[in-house]
Structure 1
């Protein structure tokens, strides 16, 4: 039967359902079409330049491969080098390096590839031009107790004993290192991670603090030998002495010319001096094609101690907090009353927060903006409210596997009106050489559900054409590399990403709830470290009520974004909606907490007064965060709470506040109902989604997150006249079967586990062919007969072709060459009998790892995940049909073979090759010599099932 006939049948099915929606003839028609593709809708990749050992001829070759793989752009991050290629090394930002960078920009422009550049060779910001004055600092302290009439019997001194931490495997003694670090030769080989020299630390301040609350500054009474020339007067006295230390954190994974100290992120002059090196290197050069500068997360404090000081800290604290921290050092050190300790510590951390935003992030962004460029920033891991750091960034970037934490960066993109939110994607997804394209897709779909719409793979190493297999690799998987067998089919995954992102970059966000990101309690908590570092809703927020609320909202299908104190202060009310610079919301949800900033509570009450519904989950914060010295603020805070006259309404208590209301409950669903926030009921069926506004309706990206196939009517929380389905993996689109149901739209969906679609709803009438829904029309028919298996690409050698009567892993074929092989094999058979049907479902059974299918020489499609199946119109079968399945496995078997044989492929400086799992570590680095051959190829069984369009 011809394809046109079965499309007509499906059209009949759909249009019958449309008829119940009322007359469509009077509405404007809208074509079903995919959004426009740009290099930003395509996925990008982090592009490591190892040793900066790039050459023009190699750049031409590899960049064309990247373009042919449907990548949209490259983020250049120079890192450590490769042993044996030292003659190709180029120092970061040297004239030779700049020439290669300019050549890359020119080539990228010709190929239509975008380019971003990391503002460091490795991460965090730092390098050999960072002086000790601009390097990150730490504060050390000592305390002493004196009574009336006593003098201190020891000098006030702090001696740093010193240490060295290494990223590499070459032993280094602290005594052999010159100071400063930049004075040492061959820093690539040394691979230093942190260096603190043995020395006496300079004194910052000494105060005497009495049990009566008196504070004296004794700094001027310290003699040159450290003696304190002071006798304690009446009372008990605590002497607090602070000393400034060198944190010693080095740039991680630095390449040649990039090794050195990390900057002081709290110093304006430090970032200015640091960035001036780039100004000097690029002076007079045309770098106009460069898009954004990039920062790869904070990661200053994944070391011994913390970077928790800057020389001007006391003055900055006075400026931001309004009082003198020097008068409250016992509380800063946690030896005052618990209440005061918490308040001063909060203010100290808030000042660090403000300095990181104003002295680092904003100055960096302004520097880029003056060039007509922007910044991409990974704020996670910072000792600050990451939502405010993301707000400074032109493109906020996240990483991870925790959905509610992933939403941190996209939330800011939504509330602040930023078009893009990016992700470092598939980092350490599995052990080296184990992840397949299906695994990657699952990881990417999680980012999409979180609101990310600009994927960056982690990542791709530049590798020259003369590098032996496996080429140049990064120490952390996944390896999106032309030498990876999955590369030939990588373009199809990228096509999938492009299609999804073309929708997710279009329109505007459509979430209902602002989830207040209250970190005041955590910022007030004493702990083992002076700073708190934030990464969304994991780590130190795992036990928070904010995370509890986020998980509950997500599991119940509510659409939400996080918002910070600072961002909340910028909101206003329009038509009872809470409006941010980028979106509008129905309510703000505040989770149970002890503390809240005064300004935040005042704003929440003001929003309610203007008509908003403000909801509190499990209680209202009863205290202000920090040292509140204003009696007026204290009184007003109490007045705001006392004015709330709650009345019970079922599980919810509500108080009228002006034009709006404040509600309180232990039941989030009840609170959402009170705020007129509806849930997407598809979550009850095991589906998840993210929703956006389009020009004429809504976009839904929907994933079947369950273990079962979904074949059902799925309710969408929107009204529509028509709907279209877009399958981003196959590229098929068409009119959806839909019906109206009590103010919402029901769309019929068929989704296998892990499968995704985009549903576009419209107030207009979509025109086009109907989307085909298939059902089996008979039992599966095995593809019988022999298969010829030909090995066409890979190594260590191409095994001989073989003919088999039954399918299985090629590692089970007789001969060691099959067990060691990583690459591509072509399976060919003849189909003698095809079931009679409109359409045939080809199921490949089990595939290790990905496969492309050809019928009679015509490309049919590519499958990267279970179920490995494709629907083929029956008319494509001509009789005695040649079926070709091109299968690629992973790099694992060849790597294991090389490690068993002692082939030296781990030739990388610095950390070399880390293992994700400890069982894969030998001699401190990754080793696969104990691995058994991993199943590879077309394992089957291959079947043909008659199918038909549902009537």
Structure 2
């Protein structure tokens, strides 16, 4: 059929989200929330009440309060973080939010990473410093043992952890007891020359970034339970009963640079790994690439991960629960096991940074205004996988960090980025973000330097409700029930940890090319996604806790269940993990392995553990099925050893979703008798075909999350599976609601063209409703065009809303009509015959308008909102001050001083062509 009309009927239904019977009930977490920066905490009750009302009216469900540095000139209005006055402002926020049915989160710190004035040097982030000395038996050693860095000579929190001597004949001695308090080493070798390595606890001295007044201080030692407990005492003292009113306490991503140690690490290492690290401290530095060094460092990294989990993540969540609130944490960037750390909190949170080059026609993305790092779908799945396995319903995202250059991003660019998160299992969006701006502050108000600027001063704000309603509909479905993923894909973290280079190993979102992309695990995840399989990632700890429940694998009693475990090709696996897999197979699990583990990680009892692993493998009875495919039958289950995933999955007769062949992506949820599929078309192709689905349901409805429209569809049977037709243009999404319960309602209408499009190329009236710096003059256009192509300087400088009005004639009434706006710069609200059609804010900028048109003469009015860019350009070209902040002030996407004076004028308005196409129902 005609490509331009393959999309289904589109009409906006505002304010009726909860009333749509086919849709789940909307609660505040289903709506998007926003990071709410309090600059200098210069807030007041009137401003808080006014802004929260404005946010709620735009469709936001909550705010996340983060105090940061302030605006210059407002110092007298600053409020000290966690002071009684600050807590009063927080209580005002919570009380007003409750009246608006909104939620409030607060960060457990000012700026980031976690830290502040209550962090002593003892509790501050710590690093390992190793110094080497040479001692000869024939010469006196008079050098005092003290750290060379003058900044580290403070007695608090800094000191020697170990002193180890290495002889020329491979002798190793712990001589720590010979070190005197004054730094004198009272030890002399009996003969020869010895190398002495001294391990110091040193401090990174990193301060909290972007801290608010009252929040300046050292960053925290994340590996010490004493440090986090001491830190949170200030919140207990300051907040009192307020803590119980907070929906969740939030901790930002781990950006603690150089922190790779804690004073008690030697003790914890020996307790957890079974041997002392002190004899091996010389291997923690230098470039030795031996197998021994890789194993020692693997054990060190595992210990750091354990400490991060046990001494930070778990205490943080326990504290939040004691205060009747939830914990929300970004684990990425830390040297811990991301899956285990995400699973340790109530709401794991991922982050988007930059923009994705989607292959959607008409979607704007200027590479000159983007970061080089793109958001990664598979990185998002670490957070969602942990939540699914644990049984926690919400997975959040700090969304749109540096989506593009300031003031150059529209809501259409946001949509596929949001959809990518939803497809990865994220279902609780937080905009990055919104800045509190005092009433009366001149345009553009207060702004945060790395933000999308989702603020009322944004010229696109009047159309934000369209985006918010889309997200709300999607999240209402994707927060219902439980995820329905069939597979667990094992993350072989020990293959990463087994590396002789470096020391700590943070798993950052910005270095995926080092730890994620080169792995077979990543290749398998990509293959599963491309071939329509639903899966979650799983860690060693999780597999060691797994059991069988109703013939499926389950890790947490409240968590999801899975049909199959997949073990990608990897070298190192702990014995406990391998034994757990065998036990699961004995109890009925199906496991696909690309190879049996070749070795065990770490150093302790290495040969003994190797022998045990090899003995287990030798006692396995392996049946050869075909080339590259073997089977080990174990009790009620089996282990399939396949050199490709395709062979293994075909052998167990587990298929992906049929629609993946067309490039469609999906996420699947189960809610009692209901099975939801959220389906997205991010390809260049128009889809109009029937697909079968992996469900036993007999009835189906289509739900359009863009419009709220719903309708029943006829299901047929293909290979004993229900099949339904989908029509999706590039960039469109659809929700399928399957059930075994009979459903009522209007049938879904599939349309095709019933005639040629009518181009509205008659005269248009253009006027300007709201914006600045000045309203351009109204005019009549003989040809539809952007207002920035009129040669009018006032229009070139304008940011706000322009209204295009025209008339058209319908000679013969059709079953339906499709309105297409063509090129929109950047968002539009449409009225036909003075009745609002809705907000057309995303590609492909179209709507069905049959209910609004009449035979004969009709009128159309299109309000177009443009970007803030042209007005900012005008201000910079005329040296009008608008950015004046402490700390980082205001930077561009490349972290240089921001200056828009050299920008070109951004196209603004409606370029069209605007067309109306008659439609008829397609068989």
Whether these two folds match at TM > 0.5 is: yes
Aligned to 1:474: 448
Contact kept? 1:835, 1:944, Cα under 8 Å: no
Flag structure 2 segments of 5+ consecutive residues without an equivalent: 1-7, 10-19, 353-374
Aligned to 1:624: 600
Correspondence for 1:574 among 527, 545, 549 = 549
Q: Return closer, same or farther for 1:228/1:620 CA change in 2, 3 Å cut-off.
A: same
Aligned to 1:389: 341
Task: Give the drift of 1:754.
Answer: 1.1
Q: Return closer, same or farther for 1:240/1:881 CA change in 2, 3 Å cut-off.
A: same
Bigger mean CA offset, 803-812 vs 332-341: 332-341
Contact kept? 1:834, 1:877, Cα under 8 Å: no
Aligned to 1:265: 222
Q: Deviations over 1:281-332 (max 9, x none)?
A: 123x44543111001111112xxxx111111111121222222221322333
Task: Give the drift of 1:224.
Answer: 6.3
Task: Give the drift of 1:675.
Answer: 3.4
Flag structure 1 segments of 5+ consecutive residues without an equivalent: 1-8, 11-30, 163-194
Bigger mean CA offset, 841-850 vs 221-230: 221-230
Bigger mean CA offset, 286-295 vs 836-845: 286-295
Task: Give the drift of 1:234.
Answer: 5.2
Contact kept? 1:605, 1:640, Cα under 8 Å: no
Aligned to 1:550: 525
Aligned to 2:908: 936
How many Å separate the matches in 1 of 2:768 and 2:748? 38
Correspondence for 1:133 among 103, 112, 122 = 122
**TM (normalized to structure 2)?**
0.92
Task: Give the drift of 1:79.
Answer: 0.8
How many Å separate the matches in 2 of 1:214 and 1:262? 39
1:74 matched to 2:74: no
How many Å separate the matches in 2 of 1:71 and 1:335? 52
How many Å separate the matches in 2 of 1:528 and 1:416? 32
Aligned to 1:494: 468
Task: Give the drift of 1:109.
Answer: 0.8
Aligned to 2:566: 589
Q: Deviations over 1:871-893 (max 9, x none)?
A: 11166325322200011011111
1:783 matched to 2:760: yes
Aligned to 2:829: 852
Q: Return closer, same or farther for 1:225/1:575 CA change in 2, 3 Å cut-off.
A: closer
Question: Any idea what SS the aligned residue of 1:522 has?
Answer: helix
Aligned to 1:101: 90
How many Å separate the matches in 2 of 1:519 and 1:844? 50
Aligned to 2:493: 519
How many Å separate the matches in 1 of 2:456 and 2:612? 64
1:644 matched to 2:620: yes
Bigger mean CA offset, 335-344 vs 449-458: 335-344
Task: Give the drift of 1:523.
Answer: 1.1
Contact kept? 1:32, 1:766, Cα under 8 Å: no
Task: Give the drift of 1:937.
Answer: 0.8
Correspondence for 1:797 among 765, 774, 782 = 774
Aligned to 2:437: 463
How many Å separate the matches in 2 of 1:669 and 1:634? 30
1:948 matched to 2:923: no
Task: Give the drift of 1:447.
Answer: 0.4
Aligned to 2:393: 419
How many Å separate the matches in 2 of 1:247 and 1:233? 38
Aligned to 1:695: 672
Question: Any idea what SS the aligned residue of 2:553 has?
Answer: strand
Aligned to 1:321: 273
How many Å separate the matches in 2 of 1:534 and 1:84? 37
Q: Return closer, same or farther for 1:871/1:127 CA change in 2, 3 Å cut-off.
A: same
How many Å separate the matches in 2 of 1:746 and 1:142? 69
How many Å separate the matches in 2 of 1:911 and 1:895? 19
How many Å separate the matches in 2 of 1:708 and 1:415? 35
Aligned to 1:343: 295
Aligned to 1:280: 237
Aligned to 1:92: 81
1:142 matched to 2:131: yes
Aligned to 1:817: 794
Contact kept? 1:159, 1:199, Cα under 8 Å: no
Contact kept? 2:599, 2:610, Cα under 8 Å: no
Question: Any idea what SS the aligned residue of 2:655 has?
Answer: coil
Contact kept? 2:157, 2:203, Cα under 8 Å: no
Contact kept? 2:243, 2:323, Cα under 8 Å: no
Contact kept? 1:149, 1:231, Cα under 8 Å: no
Q: Where in structure 2 are the equivalents of 1:432-447 lying within 5 Å?
A: 432-447=406-421
Contact kept? 2:163, 2:176, Cα under 8 Å: yes
How many Å separate the matches in 2 of 1:715 and 1:769? 22
Q: Return closer, same or farther for 1:614/1:48 CA change in 2, 3 Å cut-off.
A: same
Contact kept? 2:290, 2:500, Cα under 8 Å: no
Question: Any idea what SS the aligned residue of 2:401 has?
Answer: coil
Aligned to 2:103: 114
1:562 matched to 2:537: yes
Bigger mean CA offset, 530-539 vs 88-97: 530-539
Task: Give the drift of 1:834.
Answer: 5.1
Q: Where in structure 2 are the equivalents of 1:591-740 lying within 5 Å?
A: 591-617=568-594, 619-629=595-605, 633-650=609-626, 651-740=628-717
Q: Return closer, same or farther for 1:714/1:291 CA change in 2, 3 Å cut-off.
A: same
Task: Give the drift of 1:709.
Answer: 1.0
Question: Any idea what SS the aligned residue of 2:415 has?
Answer: helix
Bigger mean CA offset, 820-829 vs 534-543: 534-543
1:298 matched to 2:274: no
1:448 matched to 2:405: no
Aligned length: 880
CA RMSD of aligned residues (A): 2.3
Contact kept? 1:423, 1:452, Cα under 8 Å: yes
Question: Any idea what SS the aligned residue of 2:452 has?
Answer: coil
Q: Return closer, same or farther for 1:64/1:573 CA change in 2, 3 Å cut-off.
A: same
Task: Give the drift of 1:657.
Answer: 2.6
Q: Return closer, same or farther for 1:762/1:800 CA change in 2, 3 Å cut-off.
A: same
Task: Give the drift of 1:434.
Answer: 1.1
Q: Return closer, same or farther for 1:234/1:596 CA change in 2, 3 Å cut-off.
A: farther
How many Å separate the matches in 1 of 2:142 and 2:651? 66
Contact kept? 1:453, 1:505, Cα under 8 Å: yes
How many Å separate the matches in 2 of 1:213 and 1:662? 45
How many Å separate the matches in 2 of 1:196 and 1:666? 56
Question: Any idea what SS the aligned residue of 2:329 has?
Answer: strand
Bigger mean CA offset, 441-450 vs 829-838: 829-838
Task: Give the drift of 1:780.
Answer: 0.7
How many Å separate the matches in 2 of 1:680 and 1:80? 49
Task: Give the drift of 1:229.
Answer: 3.7
How many Å separate the matches in 2 of 1:635 and 1:950? 68
Bigger mean CA offset, 735-744 vs 829-838: 829-838
Task: Give the drift of 1:474.
Answer: 0.8
Task: Give the drift of 1:781.
Answer: 0.7
Contact kept? 2:335, 2:504, Cα under 8 Å: no
Contact kept? 2:273, 2:604, Cα under 8 Å: no
Question: Any idea what SS the aligned residue of 2:743 has?
Answer: strand
**TM (normalized to structure 1)?**
0.89
Contact kept? 2:485, 2:562, Cα under 8 Å: yes
How many Å separate the matches in 2 of 1:835 and 1:207? 93
Q: Return closer, same or farther for 1:336/1:435 CA change in 2, 3 Å cut-off.
A: closer
Q: Return closer, same or farther for 1:575/1:61 CA change in 2, 3 Å cut-off.
A: closer
How many Å separate the matches in 1 of 2:284 and 2:585? 36
How many Å separate the matches in 2 of 1:341 and 1:654? 36
Task: Give the drift of 1:147.
Answer: 6.6
Contact kept? 2:121, 2:157, Cα under 8 Å: no
Task: Give the drift of 1:633.
Answer: 3.8
1:245 matched to 2:202: yes
Contact kept? 1:49, 1:76, Cα under 8 Å: yes
Contact kept? 2:810, 2:855, Cα under 8 Å: no
Q: Deviations over 1:502-540 (max 9, x none)?
A: 110111111111011111021121223433335596652
Task: Give the drift of 1:604.
Answer: 1.3
